[in-house]
Amino acid sequence: MRATANPGVVDSDQHALAVDIEITPQARSIESPEFQNRLSAAKQR
């Protein structure tokens, strides 16, 4: 799929973009106090 989606683009460049787009916001979300509160409440169930 990647080969046909963006021919000629270096895979490592696409990986770096994916990290910026997907992982960075998720990491911020996981570290938020709101998430920690929800996680703590779920663990108590």
User: 1-45, pLDDT tens digit by residue?
Assistant: 455 567 777 778 878 888 888 888 898 899 999 999 999 999 999
Greatest CA separation found in the chain? 50
First to last CA, the chain: 42
Query: Is 18 part of a structural domain of the chain?
Result: yes
Count structural domains, the chain. Answer: 1
User: What is residue 3's predicted lDDT score, i.e. its pLDDT?
Assistant: 54
Domain with 28 in it: 11-44
User: What is residue 32's predicted lDDT score, i.e. its pLDDT?
Assistant: 94
User: What is residue 5's predicted lDDT score, i.e. its pLDDT?
Assistant: 63
Query: Is 1 part of a structural domain of the chain?
Result: no
Please give the structure tokens belonging to residue 27.
């990491």
Query: Is 39 part of a structural domain of the chain?
Result: yes
Query: Is 3 part of a structural domain of the chain?
Result: no
Query: Is 2 part of a structural domain of the chain?
Result: no
Instruction: Centre a 10 Å sphere on the Cβ of residue 14 and count the other Cβ atoms it contains.
Output: 13
Q: What is the pTM of this model?
A: 0.49
